[in-house]
Copies of this chain bind each other. A is one copy, B any other.
């Protein structure tokens, strides 16, 4: 157990610290690589892509802003900023909401569909290459189990 000189609280053990730092590094490398691939092979950012995925996931192609925020796990204001940028570029469009005068719908445009259609194959290939195909069946199962385990504190 390693203690840091100026702290009165135990730091992590060397092994725990190694694992934690590796985890941080993995996130860094993975998201940087995916972001680079995305912007190299399309005009979309990862954020754009995430939004468009959600918008193609829904049947009628239009979602309430808050529902979109929930599905993305983003703050509302983040969604708002993001949609503003995407609307400027013609990737999404907004519609008024009849049932609730405060709310509004957002939907994907045909330009948006075209953009995600271009971006998706390369992105999927990269996720496969770096993660899915890089683990065998057992490892992938363990991986899923662990991720679920670590998500527990955020589900309750």
Known: A29-B73, A29-B154, A132-B16. A6 touches B113 (CB 8 A): yes
Given known pairs A117-B7, A120-B9, the reply for A149 and B127 (CB within 8 Å) is no
Known interface pairs A117-B7, A120-B7; A150-B73 also in contact (CB < 8 Å): no
Chain B residues whose C-beta falls within 8 Å of the C-beta of A149 in the assembled complex: 134-135, 139
- A59 part of interface (Cβ distance < 8 Å): no
CA distance A28 to B125 in the complex (A): 22
For the complex, is A128 an interface residue (Cβ under 8 Å from B)?
Answer: yes
Q: With contacts A10-B124, A130-B153, A142-B142 known, what are 13 further pairs, Cβ within 8 A? A: A6-B117, A7-B117, A7-B120, A11-B124, A19-B140, A19-B144, A22-B151, A25-B151, A28-B73, A29-B73, A33-B154, A135-B149, A139-B146
Give the top 9 A-B pairs by smallest Cβ distance, nearest first: A9-B121, A19-B144, A29-B154, A22-B147, A6-B117, A16-B132, A143-B146, A23-B147, A26-B147
Interface pairs (18), CB distance under 8 Å: A6-B113, A6-B117, A7-B120, A8-B121, A15-B144, A16-B132, A16-B140, A18-B144, A22-B147, A22-B151, A25-B73, A25-B154, A26-B150, A26-B154, A29-B73, A130-B153, A131-B150, A134-B149
